[in-house]
Amino acid sequence: MPIFLLSNVTGQSISLMVKFLNLLPSNNEHINNSDMATEFNITTVYELNGSKVLGGTVIKGIIKEKQILQIGPDKQGSFYPIEIEEV
């Protein structure tokens, strides 16, 4: 990875960094990944009317209502099935 000496104050060399970033290949990892096993990174947990609401980011795959997913691992490394009630 090249190192760019630039200044956000004066704008010096920022155009060179932008040109470099535009030359990098695009990352298509998250495009058309609906056939992949679902992976969801949980960042927040809420409780609403006695139900758990999970917030986070879908890393790969898709999430649909009535889908059965595995949540975990816990401290022993185990996973547990959960059913998606609502998206």
- 34 lies in some domain: no
- 3 lies in some domain: no
Q: Where in the sequence is the domain holding 79, given as residue range(s)?
A: 39-83
| Averaged pLDDT, 12-40 | 80
- 7 lies in some domain: no
80: pLDDT strictly greater than 90: yes
Q: Quick one: pLDDT at residue 28?
A: 56
Region class of 15: left (phi > 0), else alpha (psi between -120 and 50), else beta: alpha
Helix (H, G, I), strand (E, B) or coil at 14: helix
- 77 lies in some domain: yes
- 23 lies in some domain: no
15-19, 23-27, 30-34, 55-59 — which is least confidently predicted? 30-34
- 57 lies in some domain: yes
- 48 lies in some domain: yes
Identify residue 43 by its one-letter amino acid code. T
How many domains is the chain built from? 1
With a CB cutoff of 8 Å and minimum separation 6, the contacts of 59 are 39, 40, 41
